[in-house]
Chain A
Amino acid sequence: MSRSATGMTLAGLGLAAVLLISINALSGKLFGGDRFDLTDQHLYTLSDGTKAVLSKIDEPITLKLFYSKELGDQVPSFGVYAQRVRELLQEYAADAHGKINLELLDPQPYSEVEDQATAAGLQGVPLDDGGEQVYFGLAGSNSTDDKQTIAFFQPDRERFIEYDLTKLVQQLAFPKKKVVGLVSSLALDGDPMARMQGQPTQSQVVLDQLRQTFDVRDIGAGFDKVPDDVDLLMIVQPQKLPAKTEYAIDQFVMKGGHALVFVDPNAEFAQAHPSMFNPQGGPSAANFDRLLKAWGVELVPGKVVGDRVAARRVNAGSGTHVQAAEYLAWLNLKGDSINHDDPVTGQLGQLNFATAGDLQPIKDAKTKFEWLVRSSPQSELIDTAKVQGLPDVLGLLSSFKATGERYTLAARITGPADTAFPDGKPVEEKPDDAKKDPAKPNDAKPDAAKSDAPKFTADPTQVKVAKEPIDIIVVADADMLDDRFWVQVQDFFGQRAATPLANNGDLVQNAVDSLAGTGDLIGLRSRGSAVRPFTVVDQLQRQAEDSYRAKEKQLQDKLRETQSKLAELRTNKGADGKEEPLTAEQQQSINDLSATIIQTRSQLRQVQLALRQDIDRLKGLLVGLDVALVPLALAVLALVVGLVRAQRRKRRAQQA
């Protein structure tokens, strides 16, 4: 009996194991999309933006997912990721109602499928030294033979996977890119002079990213009509535009064109990237008041916004002495400084601005002025002169006084507007004025003064009142377009790999998307990129610095002073230039000064220690709470329970 029972048991267990495997294999097929997405932003649920894109597809699209099973077998995390990509694509196909052809392919080494993968531009990755390659990428094509690929699904982009896929689908569904006309005095696209001379020059990541979905064209700064095929204007730091160009922009907007404008009271960009427009590389201020006023907004001249809360830490020391301090004019804006109700900024986590200006609505303007980015209430306006050259970071910090006002750094302007040229078209300037040499800005000055008061003639084709409500986004900072403020660019085997530190690029993309009417991608773009810092720790750090920074500076000054006094005494020379022996009195004061130096140094060390003290204390407290508190409470509880039990037992024993 026992042997047959054992046999039966083993058979039963074997059957159960088979059942386990088949249940799980089956559940994979049956419950492909059933899940509870508990994440804040519903990262694992198809977003409305994706659904909108899918519903607009007209011509069928073919998507080929190349995935080598070998890869998942060797590296299981890729297996999990591949499953997610596969399911997501299946959801896309299901939602597109037959407009998406999905093919799942396994490119075996040396097979025809592998040739297809290579031909489509997918990146093969060697698993071992054997020379066999594995693939995990996507190739898409549409009926007009446009092609888009994701060469390899990088695991660290998993959180942006839906955005990447939807963008690819959108590019295939609408292959014609919208045209962005770029009017810029800054060398965003690399130095044009250098390019003409055949030298390598690198464009800013903002433009690179924009070019993935838009056709960005530099249309210069001297046109008298915006080209017909331009869908949207991107105007960056306009300076001394000829009146005819301003008129052209005005008419473009009056006729229903949208514009994204960057005006900066102090563009550090020009300093960092000298070009033929800014050969001397000095700071520059925007000059675009006439049009801004007509649209109902004004850039407060000669002032930049300083924000105590958003200030970024910089090295304020000199030479080898590193001293971290917060620079009021370089801002890292997050939380309620970003308008989360507007689709352009709604999903953005943080933005880095540098010496940004303040935008004010003009009284009695017909347009509506909505802030997109603003400073904290702990802010003030600083003269641009104070932030030019080498700013006194510590000086700015110590003279800071909050006004309690929140300054607007970026705004959306919508509504009815009138032309900035009520008297008609500006009269064409003299030919030699128009051909002024941009390399000689000094010569241009009288011209600029002249063009401030141009003559006008009636233009029968002029639109004087906007045909439809205007839609303009103005950002009071051009430096936020500069790579160095928001993105780390690395050279990755000849490719540029950009890792954003802030959402500056997303802001520009979102703004262009929104203004160009391709807003479906907006909700997707910044999904999953939310950084969740320890706000309490940040705040502690700020408080500590507020209370100790002044003391630290005072001690440092004292130290420097004492040291220079000491040096003076040591090189004590008589009237004849010869060194004289030190008097006892001098010797005494040297000793005193040395003692002071040692003492000050130790005080300084203590202050610097105190800066971290609160944070270290918090950490200790939390470790205690998390690691020890509950166990201690349990130990006490166990002790009490044990004692009570022992008592009871004793009593029972006595009774017995």
Chain B
Amino acid sequence: MGTVGVVFRRELVSYFATPLAYVFIVIFLVMAGALTFYVGGFFERGQADLQVFFNFHPWLYLFLIPALSMRLWAEERKTGTIELFLTLPITTAEAVVGKFLAAWAFTGIALALTFPFWITVNYLGQPDNGVILASYIGSFLMAGAFLAIGSAISAVTKNQVIAFVVSAVVCFLFTASGSPLVLGPVTAWVPGGVIETIASMSFLSHFAAITRGVVDLRDVIFFGSVIGLFLFANTVLVELKKAD
């Protein structure tokens, strides 16, 4: 884990070396706040919970996380630093995990900076803080899954724009799988078991399950396995491209 730690630190520090980190966090915070207050009607609802706030998270991540993940590998490949990077005495897997953890920690920081909302509801009333904690855990896990997907896709292309668009589309499919919008076109010709499997991959339903206030082991395993699979894919793809 030592080398993973080194990559992790190098990456995380490099986020804050450019304006990118600040821009990302500011946009995330402002949008989360504005959506909660003006679209979700947080104040007018008069309920001391953060349900509206968390409801917007999947949709915020849908655009913001691909923006974060698109540069993870695509940029390295474009500038050619990937060769340099991989000549270092670390394995590809270590590099992948280190980069991913840095990006995940970064989203964690962005998420933690929404703390004024938590203070606000506790000031205004008596919220169920257990539910809020569970929702934060769920949101963080979901962010990780989005990131792993984006990271793997960014390893396929040199073009960051393509990485962004494709990641957003794949993330959308995962988010909304299970909704008629995604299932509709396939229900006619795919057997029920497959449909059920697709539906069970929905980020939305797993996230919603956690935001009720229960951290179910199965939801954790789900997000964990999605992260694991896409990090594995990521490693394999980097290796493959290296061989080219």
Contact = CB atoms under 8 A, between A and B. Distances in A.
Nearest to B21: A638
Contact of B130 (A1, A38, A532): A38
Contacts, number: 175
A58 interface: no
Given A76-B199, A623-B37, A625-B116, A31 B127 contact: no
Contact of A69 (B46, B196, B221): B196
Contacts of A72: 199
A364 interface: no
A29 to B, nearest CB: 10
A619 interface: yes
Contact of A44 (B196, B202, B212, B232): B212
Contact of A638 (B19, B37, B127): B19
Contacts of A535: 48, 124-126
A40 B130 contact: yes
A634 interface: yes
B208 A27 contact: no
A20 interface: yes
A20 B133 contact: no
Contacts of A629: 116
A79 B178 contact: yes
A626 B126 contact: no
B229 A1 contact: no
B36 interface: yes
B26 A634 contact: yes
B46 A537 contact: yes
Contact of B29 (A20, A21, A31, A627): A627
A81 to B, nearest CB: 10
Interface residues of A, number: 59
Nearest to A28: B218
A34 interface: yes
A12 interface: yes
Interface in A598-639: 619, 622-623, 625-631, 634-635, 637-638
Given A1-B243, A34-B217, A532 B47 contact: yes
B91 interface: no
B216 interface: yes
B83 interface: no
Contacts of B34: 627
Contacts of B178: 76, 79
Interface in B129-168: 129-131, 133-134
A533 interface: yes
Interface stretch (A2-10, A172-180, A503-511): A2-10
A73 B187 contact: yes
Nearest to A1: B243
A79 B199 contact: yes
Nearest to B17: A645
Contacts of A635: 22, 26
A532 B128 contact: yes
Nearest to B229: A20
A567 interface: no
Interface in A418-471: none
A280 interface: no
Interface in A17-39: 17, 19-21, 23-25, 27-28, 31, 34-39
A2 B222 CA distance: 33
A225 B202 CA distance: 65
B229 A39 contact: no
A217 to B, nearest CB: 41
B200 A627 contact: no
A641 interface: yes
A532 B202 contact: no
A281 to B, nearest CB: 37
A533 B125 contact: yes
A257 to B, nearest CB: 40
A16 interface: yes
Contact of B183 (A20, A73, A627, A641): A73
Given A5-B240, A9-B237, A69-B196, A626 B33 contact: yes
Contact of B215 (A35, A77, A532, A631): A35
A322 interface: no
A27 B221 contact: yes
A347 B192 CA distance: 44
A38 B214 contact: yes
A13 interface: yes
B214 A76 contact: no
Contacts of B105: none
B130 A39 contact: yes
A449 to B, nearest CB: 53
A38 B126 contact: no
Nearest to B239: A9
A627 B28 CA distance: 10
A23 B46 contact: no
A40 to B, nearest CB: 4
A38 B134 contact: yes
A16 B37 contact: no
Contacts of A537: 46, 124
A20 B226 contact: yes
B221 A31 contact: yes
A113 interface: no
B30 interface: yes
A492 interface: no
Given A79-B199, A79-B205, A619-B43, A38 B215 contact: yes
A642 interface: yes
Contacts of B180: 74
Given A627-B30, A630-B113, A23 B225 contact: yes
B15 to A, nearest CB: 12
Contacts of A1: 243
20 contacts: A9-B239, A16-B229, A24-B222, A25-B197, A31-B218, A34-B216, A36-B134, A36-B215, A38-B133, A39-B131, A40-B130, A43-B212, A76-B178, A79-B199, A533-B48, A535-B126, A536-B125, A537-B46, A631-B30, A642-B19
Given A38-B215, A76-B202, A536-B125, 7 more contacts: A2-B244, A13-B233, A34-B216, A626-B37, A628-B33, A629-B116, A634-B22
